[in-house]
Amino acid sequence: MSNPAPSNPSASNPSAGSAPTSTLRGALRLVDYWATVYRRTWRGSIVSSFITPLLYVLAMGVLLGGFVEADPATLEGATSYLAFVVPGLVAATSMTTVVGEVTYPVMAMVKWNKTYFSMTATPLGVREIALAHLGFVAFRVAVTAAVFLAVTAPFGVYESAPGVLGAFVVQVLLGMAFAVPLYAFAAGLRDETAFSLVFRLGMIPMFLFSGAFFPVANLDAPLEALARATPLWHGVDLTRMLVLGVPDWSMVAVHVAYLLALVVVGWWWAVRRLARRMQQ
């Protein structure tokens, strides 16, 4: 049986309340809700967000990296394998954090606990709800990236303090480049079976083959081209250039433009897809 139509007209009309200031004002009304969610759940994210990435750094960068001897030219400017792998893991952690936040949690709010329908019974509409949820995801990425960058700083792999600050901003942008399209995808699903494809055919291959652990130039030409087309490669390459203090500003512009385009297109898709889903 289909759900009743939301009583708030803006919930079924993406253009309603579309002024940026009113949308932001409405999203800010949900800060208390998301703060409460975080206070109740942050302990459950410690292992996945902080401990697991640190173990990857120790295992891949320190232990395995001790056996890797390579010229910095083959490691994209990194003086050691540890310095090469840490920026890649920072970016990969931003991706995995996002995937966990905009798959099952979004479906739960639409299908299982129907929190979104409760929200639209208030003056809030689809845009405000989506913006607030994505704002929370951006906060999660920012906290995870800040802790990861701080914890790995004593390893001596960062060559530029301003570059580290820039890399922190990049993590939020990279997180949103994943979060907004995935949010749109999850918001319109009727069941969770498609999430296994996101993990198995999306997140895991990108984690392994988008430049976090080895230069993508080592891949065959077709696979290298595919790797360079992924958002994670853009995030990894941008993060690595910044923290190593060797930015190619033309490539920086390309990376930022690519990630911003995903955010913009994803937002357009998310609003429309969520609005349609909540009318069903």
pLDDT in tens, 5-49: 444 544 555 544 446 668 999 999 999 999 999 998 888 777 777
The half-sphere exposure of 17 on its side-chain side, counting CA atoms within 13 A, is 23
Mean pLDDT of 258-276: 96
Domain ranges of the chain: 9-277
SS3 114: coil
pLDDT in tens, 114-149: 999 999 988 999 999 999 999 999 999 999 999 999
Confidence of residue 254 (pLDDT cuts 50, 70, 90): very high
Closest C-alpha to 232, from 250, 258, 252, 253: 258
Per-residue b or e along 150-184, where b marks 16 or more CB atoms closer than 10 Å to that residue's CB: eebeeeebbbbeebbebbbebbbbbbbbbbbbbbb
> At a CB cut-off of 8 Å and minimum separation 6, what does 21 contact?
none
Query: Which tokens is 274 given?
Result: 């969520």
Residue 148's φ and ψ, nearest 5 degrees, are: -60, -45
Give me the pLDDT at residue 156, please: 87
CA separation for the pair 129, 124 (Å, rounded): 7
Mean pLDDT of 262-275: 96
Give me the pLDDT at residue 60, please: 73
pLDDT in tens, 224-233: 999 999 999 9
pLDDT in tens, 182-224: 999 999 998 899 999 999 999 999 999 999 999 999 999 999 9
